Amino acid sequence: MRPWVLVALTACSPREEPAPKQRPPHSIDIPTVTGAGAPFSLREVEVVRGPNHSLELGYRVETADKTLEVPGEFTCRVQGFNLVYPATARGKLGGPQRTGSWRPDPFAEDPEVCQIDWRSNNAGYASACYRAGELSPRGCSPGTFPPRTEDELKTNLAGKFAVDLVHASFELRAGAAIITGIFTVLERLAEDHRIVATISCDEGQAASEAALPLIPLERLAVGSSVYGPATILLDHMPADGALCTFRLVSRPTKGPRDERELAKYCVTAGTPTVLTCPL
């Protein structure tokens, strides 16, 4: 066959169309979003099991506003805790499929039930409920996430502080004091305040404070918990055996710097133990 004939045949051949994108199996749509304006809907929502008892969320946002960020955040019931895995809004825009995650830290077991919430600048809201591998396009029924009882909380903290801390550990590492544990919000925190962690050790060996970017206590529902580290950079490392006090305080973002103590714990440099301070 002459070369020009081959070229002509190739040019006239029909182009192969790309295969249509397959819808994720067991996915659902959430077409109606509660809230003023309802600026988005959710398509192809799916939850799949990941490694180490984790859950992975996939979804696609339909909206006319392509700058709208719509993060999906899990709250799961595990060992009596309503454990939130904080979601970031960055990159959760309309259009291509988005993702989210839940991790059972510090536990190693599957959750009993989970609710996924999507919020966008208080202008839209949607929820789904996940239980036993099934996903439904609405929030979980009332009573699914009861708050922790006083018997489950430290008796000397119940009613005194607004934040409880359990499964906690303390370490000094790379010029920082790190408190890691499950932080539970016992009462609603003021929205016009910011929460900071402070630490001070005896004889002025160390004193510093820091914000809590990984522990968003100010936006958690009452009775919800979050697991993570509170990291405070130190100018001077305390000597082993030094007695230190770790505190969470709430301060107004405007006006006088009046602060409220939300929690207080005692730790000893060189040990991982976190204790409630004597009242």
pLDDT tens, residue by residue, 220-269:
888 899 999 999 999 888 889 999 999 999 988 887 777 889 999 999 99
Peptide bond into 146 cis (omega under 30): no
For position 23, what pLDDT does the model report?
A: 56
Kindly list the domain boundaries of the chain, sorted by start residue. Answer: 28-136, 150-276
User: Do 28-136 and 150-276 have matching folds?
Assistant: yes
Query: What pairing do the DSSP bridges indicate for beta strands 97-102 and 134-136?
Result: unpaired
Q: Which residues are paired to 131 by β-bridges?
A: 134
Phi, psi of 271 (to 5 degrees): -125, 155
Residues of the chain predicted below pLDDT 70: 1-25, 32, 34-38, 89-96, 121-124, 149-159, 203-205, 279
For position 68, what pLDDT does the model report?
A: 79
For position 96, what pLDDT does the model report?
A: 59
Q: What angle do CA 219, 221, 223 make, to 5 degrees?
A: 135
pLDDT tens, residue by residue, 58-70:
998 888 777 778 8
Give the whole-angstrom CA distance, residue 236 versus residue 206: 6
For position 37, what pLDDT does the model report?
A: 58
Give the whole-angstrom CA distance, residue 205 versus residue 201: 6
Phi, psi of 262 (to 5 degrees): -95, -30
Domain range 150-276, its CATH number among 1.10.3470, 2.60.40, 2.40.10, 1.10.1220: 2.60.40
Phi, psi of 217 (to 5 degrees): -60, -35
Four-CA torsion 205, 211, 213, 219, nearest 10 degrees: 130
Check the CA dihedral 252-253-255-256 and report its sign.
Answer: positive
Which has the closest alpha carbon to 166: 103, 225, 247? Answer: 225
Give domain 28-136's CATH architecture: Sandwich (2.60)
Residue whose pair of structure tokens reads 């303390």 in the numeric block: 170
Four-CA torsion 235, 239, 241, 243, nearest 10 degrees: -30
- Burial (Cβ within 10 Å: 0-12, 13-18, ≥19) of residue 149: exposed
